[in-house]
């Protein structure tokens, strides 16, 4: 099932606690699992847990777009000097996270 990451990213931008959010896909069991890397606003740091973001997004998107790959907080989204987001670095993070979480996943459907 195809998921456009920028569509889900745009949904998260309306959350009051998210400063910047990037969605990546983790590949597990031949499926893509949406996973969010979130840079929280200063006021929200230490007050929000990943499960809150997962629950916040659920009623706003279709079931196959739920953040079943999890949510990870980051200090900042990696960008080039021009301001372009370095998605390759974040894809590498997602690959490493998928390996670390190996065995904790079950098929979604």
pLDDT tens, residue by residue, 72-89: 888 888 889 998 888 889
**Amino acid 87: pLDDT:** 83
Query: Which residues have CB under 8 Å from 33's CB, separation 6+?
Result: 25, 26, 27, 68, 69, 98, 105, 108
**Amino acid 1: pLDDT:** 42
Q: Are 3 and 64 in contact (CB under 8 A)?
A: yes
Backbone phi, psi, residue 9, to 5°: -60, -40
**Amino acid 82: pLDDT:** 94
The two three-digit tokens of residue 9, written as one number: 């990213």
**Amino acid 81: pLDDT:** 94
Q: Are 25 and 69 in contact (CB under 8 A)?
A: yes
| Structural domains of the chain, with CATH | 5-100 (3.30.300.30)
pLDDT digits (tens, 9 = 90+) for 51-70: 988 888 888 888 888 888 88
Q: What is the 3-state secondary structure (H, E, C) of 16-34?
A: CCEEEEEEEEEEECCEEEE
pTM above 0.85, yes or no: no
Least confident of 5-9, 89-93, 99-103: 5-9
Query: Average pLDDT in the 39-56 region?
Result: 85
By percentage, how much of the chain surpasses pLDDT 70? Answer: 66
């Amino acid at each position: 099932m195809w998921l456009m990451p920028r569509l889900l990213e745009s949904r998260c931008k309306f959350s009051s606690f998210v400063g910047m959010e990037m969605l990546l896909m983790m590949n597990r069991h031949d499926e893509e699992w949406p996973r969010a890397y979130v840079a929280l606003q200063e006021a929200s740091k230490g007050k929000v847990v990943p499960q809150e973001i997962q629950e916040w997004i659920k009623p706003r998107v279709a079931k196959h777009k739920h953040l079943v790959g999890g949510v990870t907080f980051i200090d900042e989204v990696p960008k080039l000097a021009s301001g372009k987001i370095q998605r390759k670095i974040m894809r590498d993070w997602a690959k490493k996270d998928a390996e670390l979480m190996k065995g904790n996943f079950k098929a979604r459907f």
